[in-house]
A and B are shown apart, each in its own frame.
Chain A
Amino acid sequence: MSLCVDIEKKLGAFHLRAQFEAQDEPTALLGASGCGKSVTLKCIAGIMTPDRGHIELGGRVLFDSERKIDLPPQQRRVGYLFQQYALFPNMTVEQNILCGIRREHRAEKKALLAEKIRMFRLEGLEKKHPAQLSGGQQQRVALARILSSEPEAILLDEPFSALDSYLKWNLELELADLLAGFGGPVLWVSHDLGECYRNCRSVCVMEDGKTGTVTGMDEMLRCPESVSAARLAGCKNFFAAEENNGAVYLPEWDLTLLIAAKEKSFTTIGIPDGALALCDDGALRCTILRVIPGVEESILLLRPEGCAETAPVLRITAARGLPLKAGARVTVALDLDRLLLL
C-alpha cells in the first residue's frame, strides 16, 4: 500500500505544492517551521481541502479535483496524531478509545477495547480523564485510539515539539516501538533531523511550500538537493560561489577552490561541519573573531585572512578546553570532497 500525494493549495501569499509518494514505512516530512508540513497533513486527512490535485491511498482515491472526489475525513481511514494528542477532555481513557472503534457489535467493541488497553499498557487507567495522565500515558491513549479506528495510514504532526528533551527521548522510543506493528505508510512530520533520522529510512524535504523528491535518509545527508535541505542536514556554513575556469570561486573570500565544478549549475557552496578541521598545517589561514563556549564543544567564528570585514564568517566547532582566544591565528583544513555545491 502506498500514499500518493500531488496537491496544490493557495493560502494568501503562501503556495503549497506537495508531490510525493510514501511507501509502507515511516517517511519523514522534514522542513522548517511554516513551510507547509501541517497543511499537507491536513489536506491528506481531509481537514483542509486542496485547490487542485489528487490523493490516493492504497489504490483508494481520497481526493481528486478533476473527478470531483473529496471523501470526508471520516471515510479516509487516515489516523492523525496531533501535537497535543487532542484527547477528548470530557471523556475517560476508555471512552476516548471507544470513540475510535468503528464496530457495531457491543461484544466486538468490548473485546477490541480490552485488547487495546492491554496492548498499550493502560490497565488501571480506564476510568481516568486525560488531565490526570502523564504525557507518556496520553500519547499511548492517543495511539490506541488511532489504531482502534483501523487506519490505513498514520500522520504524525510534530509529535514531540512541545516537550523538553528528556521526556521527548523516552516518548520517542515508545512511539517508535508502538508504531513498529503498524504495516501501512506513516508520515512523520518534524523539523528535527535527529528525530527523523532515528525513526525513518526515507525522507522528503519541504521548503517554502514545495516538496523535494523522496530519498533515503543517508543519501539526503550526503548530498542534499537544496540549501534548505543542506541546512536541515546540519550544514551551517553557506557562501556564494561561482564557476571559474572549471574551478569554484568564492567571491566573498576571494578564494578559488580547486574542485571540479559539477555539471549542475550552482550559486552556493555549503561546507558541512565534517569537512572542516582545525589543524596545524591547514590550507586556510584564519583569524579567530569569537569563541562561544558550548556544553560539549566550543564554537569558533573565523575570518579567512585577506578578506574584507564585511565578508561572512566561517563557523566551526572545536573541542572544549583548547587554548583558543579571539584574535589568535589558526589554520583550517578543508575536505574538498565533502563540499556541497548547491
Chain B
Amino acid sequence: MAPWGQGAFSPLRFLGDAKGAILTLRMVPFTGLPPSAAEGRCYMDWYPLWNSLRIAAISTVIIFFAGIFAAYYIARLPRLIKGVLDVLLTLPLVLPPTVVGYLLLRVLGPKRVVGAWVLETFGVKMVMTWWSAIFATVVVIFPLMYRTVRGAFESFDETLAYSGQTLGLSNTYIFWRIRMPYCRQGVLAGTVLAFARALGEYGATSMIAGYTPGKTATISTTVYQLWQTNNDALATKWVMVNMAISAVVLLTVNMLERRDLLSEAGRKRRGGR
C-alpha cells in the first residue's frame, strides 16, 4: 500500500491548513498493523485516522440517501404513522449512545436473531469488525440528517412541484432537479454535519466494534484507550488531529454557505432590473 499521505485517498487533502501542524508529528508509513511493543509509547500509528475517515465516509453516504428518502416519504404519510415513525427515527439522537450500542448488540450479536443468521449464512460476524462501527454510526447519526433535511423540505414551495407535474415532468425529475436544488443548503449542511459527527461517534461504536489496534480502532476509541493507559502525549496529538478535522469541516460548511449567498446576491446584482 502507498505510504500514508501519498495514496489516491489522502486524508491530507481534507486537512488543508492543518497540514503543517500534522506534518510535525512523526510520520510513519501506514501498514495497517498495530505498533509493536518495542516501538514504544510515542509511536503514532495512523490507522485510527484512516479507519475513522472510512467509517464516517461510508456512513455519510448511507445516511445521505436514507435521510433524504425518509424525510421525503414520511412527510407524505398519514399523521399517526408519521408521528410514530418520527419518534422512532429521532430516538437515537436523544438516547445515550451506549443504549443504542446495547440495542444493536441485542440484534446483531452472534447469538442474536440477525447476527446468528448472518453468521450461519455468510460466515461473517456482524460485531467486532471495523465495519461494525458503520451500523452504530448510521443509527446514531441518521436522525441528524433526517431532521435537517426534513426542515429543508418543509420550506420547499410545493407549487413548484405541482407546476412541474402539470408540465409533464416526471416525479423523479422534479425530485432531483427541482426539489433537491431548492433545498441544497439544508441537505448540504445536514450531510457535512453528519460526516463531522460520524467522525466522532464513540459510545455505540466502542460497544459494537470495540477497540482492537489496527483493526477496529477509531480516533475516539484510541483517545479513550490512550487516556486509560496514561499516554497523555499521544492522546493530546490525537485530540489535536480530531479538532483540526472538525474545524476544517465546519469551515467548509461556512464557506459553502457564504459562496451560495454571494452567488445569489451576484445573480440579482447582475440582473439589471
* Residues of chain A at the chain B interface (Cβ within 8 Å): 42, 45-47, 72-76, 78-80, 82-84, 86, 88-90, 99-100, 102, 128-129, 131-134, 145-146, 149
Known: A88-B160, A90-B178, A90-B182. A45 touches B166 (CB 8 A): yes
* Residues from chain B with Cβ under 8 Å of A99 in the complex: 164, 167, 169
Are B181 and A90 neighbours in the complex by a CB distance under 8 Å? yes
Checking B157, B169, B182, B273 against A134 with a beta-carbon cut-off of 8 angstroms, the contacting residue is B273
The proximity string for B residues 150-180 relative to A, scoring 1 for CB distances below 8 Å and 0 otherwise, is: 0000000101101111111110000001100
* Residues from chain A with Cβ under 8 Å of B79 in the complex: none
Known: A89-B182, A132-B271. A145 touches B165 (CB 8 A): no
State the Cβ distance, A155 to closest chain B Cβ, in Å.
Answer: 9
By CB atoms of chain A within 10 A, which of B164, B165, B272 has the most? B165
Are A131 and B268 neighbours in the complex by a CB distance under 8 Å? yes
Checking A74, A131, A133 against B169 with a beta-carbon cut-off of 8 angstroms, the contacting residue is A74
Q: Cβ of B76 < 8 Å from any Cβ of A?
A: no
Are B168 and A100 neighbours in the complex by a CB distance under 8 Å? yes
Known: A131-B267, A132-B268, A132-B273. A79 touches B182 (CB 8 A): no
Checking A47, A89, A128, A145 against B167 with a beta-carbon cut-off of 8 angstroms, the contacting residue is A145
Closest partner residue, chain B, to A86 (CB atom): B163
* Residues from chain B with Cβ under 8 Å of A145 in the complex: 167
Nearest 3 CB-CB pairings of A with B: A132-B271, A86-B163, A73-B165
* Residues from chain A with Cβ under 8 Å of B264 in the complex: 131
* Residues from chain A with Cβ under 8 Å of B170 in the complex: 74
* Residues from chain A with Cβ under 8 Å of B162 in the complex: 42, 45, 47, 73, 80, 82, 86
Q: How many A-B residue pairs have CB under 8 A?
A: 69
* Residues from chain B with Cβ under 8 Å of A88 in the complex: 160, 164, 178
Are B168 and A74 neighbours in the complex by a CB distance under 8 Å? yes
Are B168 and A86 neighbours in the complex by a CB distance under 8 Å? no
By CB atoms of chain A within 10 A, which of B163, B268, B270 has the most? B163
Closest partner residue, chain A, to B157 (CB atom): A86
Checking B165, B167, B178, B268 against A72 with a beta-carbon cut-off of 8 angstroms, the contacting residue is B165
State the Cβ distance, A220 to closest chain B Cβ, in Å.
Answer: 29
Bound-state CA distance A280–B138 (Å) is 87
State the Cβ distance, A333 to closest chain B Cβ, in Å.
Answer: 50
Checking A46, A84, A102, A133 against B165 with a beta-carbon cut-off of 8 angstroms, the contacting residue is A46
The proximity string for B residues 61-93 relative to A, scoring 1 for CB distances below 8 Å and 0 otherwise, is: 000000000000000000000000000000000
Closest partner residue, chain B, to A128 (CB atom): B271
Closest partner residue, chain B, to A100 (CB atom): B167
Are A82 and B168 neighbours in the complex by a CB distance under 8 Å? no
Checking A42, A83, A129, A149 against B168 with a beta-carbon cut-off of 8 angstroms, the contacting residue is A149
Closest partner residue, chain B, to A145 (CB atom): B167
* Residues from chain B with Cβ under 8 Å of A42 in the complex: 162
Bound-state CA distance A89–B177 (Å) is 11
A-B contact pairs, 15 of them (CB 8 A): A45-B162, A47-B165, A47-B166, A74-B166, A75-B168, A83-B159, A88-B160, A90-B181, A99-B169, A131-B268, A131-B271, A133-B273, A145-B167, A149-B166, A149-B168
Bound-state CA distance A17–B181 (Å) is 38
Closest partner residue, chain A, to B165 (CB atom): A73
Known: A82-B159, A84-B159, A86-B159. A146 touches B167 (CB 8 A): yes
Closest partner residue, chain A, to B166 (CB atom): A80
Closest partner residue, chain A, to B269 (CB atom): A132
State the Cβ distance, A112 to closest chain B Cβ, in Å.
Answer: 13
State the Cβ distance, B249 to closest chain A Cβ, in Å.
Answer: 26
Q: A47-B165, A47-B166 are in contact. List 18 more A-B contacts (CB 8 A).
A: A47-B162, A74-B165, A74-B166, A74-B170, A75-B168, A82-B159, A82-B163, A86-B157, A86-B162, A86-B163, A99-B164, A129-B267, A131-B264, A131-B271, A132-B267, A132-B271, A134-B273, A149-B166
By CB atoms of chain B within 10 A, which of A42, A83, A100, A134 has the most? A100
Checking B166, B182, B270 against A73 with a beta-carbon cut-off of 8 angstroms, the contacting residue is B166
Bound-state CA distance A80–B164 (Å) is 10
By CB atoms of chain B within 10 A, which of A42, A74, A80, A134 has the most? A74
* Residues from chain A with Cβ under 8 Å of B270 in the complex: 132
State the Cβ distance, A169 to closest chain B Cβ, in Å.
Answer: 20
Are B167 and A149 neighbours in the complex by a CB distance under 8 Å? yes
Which parts of B115-147 form the interface with A (CB within 8 Å)?
Answer: none
* Residues from chain A with Cβ under 8 Å of B164 in the complex: 88, 99
Closest partner residue, chain A, to B180 (CB atom): A90
Bound-state CA distance A128–B272 (Å) is 10
Bound-state CA distance A146–B164 (Å) is 10
Bound-state CA distance A98–B271 (Å) is 21
Bound-state CA distance A214–B110 (Å) is 73
* Residues from chain A with Cβ under 8 Å of B181 in the complex: 90
State the Cβ distance, A133 to closest chain B Cβ, in Å.
Answer: 8
Are B160 and A86 neighbours in the complex by a CB distance under 8 Å? yes
The proximity string for B residues 245-273 relative to A, scoring 1 for CB distances below 8 Å and 0 otherwise, is: 00000000000000000001001101111
State the Cβ distance, B201 to closest chain A Cβ, in Å.
Answer: 34
* Residues from chain A with Cβ under 8 Å of B163 in the complex: 80, 82, 86
State the Cβ distance, B185 to closest chain A Cβ, in Å.
Answer: 12
* Residues from chain A with Cβ under 8 Å of B169 in the complex: 74, 99
Bound-state CA distance A79–B163 (Å) is 8
Closest partner residue, chain B, to A85 (CB atom): B163
State the Cβ distance, B166 to closest chain A Cβ, in Å.
Answer: 4
State the Cβ distance, B226 to closest chain A Cβ, in Å.
Answer: 48
Bound-state CA distance A128–B178 (Å) is 17
Bound-state CA distance A263–B2 (Å) is 99
